[in-house]
Chain A
Amino acid sequence: QKEVEQNSGPLSVPEGAIASLNCTYSDRVSQSFFWYRQYSGKSPELIMSIYSNGDKEDGRFTAQLNKASQYVSLLIRDSQPSDSATYLCAVNRKRGSTLGRLYFGRGTQLTVWP
């Protein structure tokens, strides 16, 4: 079983809609959860981090974490064509100063059409 699983997509939504990206992880002791955005041919860019159950909002982005279900999601409100990219979910067993390995999913490709 893979550490982090994502639907590879592609996910296609119209401009202005809500895009919902999902991720599940296998290790129950995971502590840190991240969403990265990666444009084609570019490196991953950190857009959200979440550590506690519930929702965390930052502008048009909302990350949701449910540790009991081992599930983390990213909602993008008012989607824009510039949001078209691959979104990578990453999970770490550790938090803060305690080091651990960051596991990435394969990514979900999102296309926002005008």
Chain B
Amino acid sequence: EAGVAQSPRYKIIEKRQSVAFWCNPISGHATLYWYQQILGQGPKLLIQFQNNGVVDDSQLPKDRFSAERLKGVDSTLKIQPAKLEDSAMYLCASSPPGSTEAFFGQGTRLTVV
């Protein structure tokens, strides 16, 4: 079974630029998450989708971050404009129906300079 796919693996941008990350969850997984993990900390949930509906986006900085999950499969996370403190690993995860176990993709390492 293929795992959660994410791209790109690495991204370096200047502050105030925009960036987008892509995620394809495990087939059949209705729940999709985006996490931000700053170096030395645990992952923090940014947004959680159930199919193409948002379940929890309470910790998403909505003035600069946006996410969508069209057709309930792939998802994109966008940052515009980026700040230095956005430098982190952005992790996408998905869960199968009837489970709260989350399986992570390889992540995107973002560096804002």
Contacts and interface: CB of A to CB of B under 8 A. Distances in A.
A16 interface: no
Interface string B6-49: 00000000000000000000000001010000001111110010
Contacts of B101: 32, 34, 46, 49
A108 to B, nearest CB: 11
A95 B50 CA distance: 15
Nearest to A33: B100
Interface residues of A, number: 26
B76 interface: no
A97 B96 CA distance: 9
16 contacts: A4-B42, A32-B101, A34-B102, A41-B109, A42-B106, A46-B102, A46-B103, A94-B100, A97-B98, A99-B56, A99-B100, A101-B45, A102-B33, A104-B42, A106-B40, A107-B41
A45 B42 CA distance: 13
Given A101-B45, A104-B44, A43 B99 contact: no
B97 interface: yes
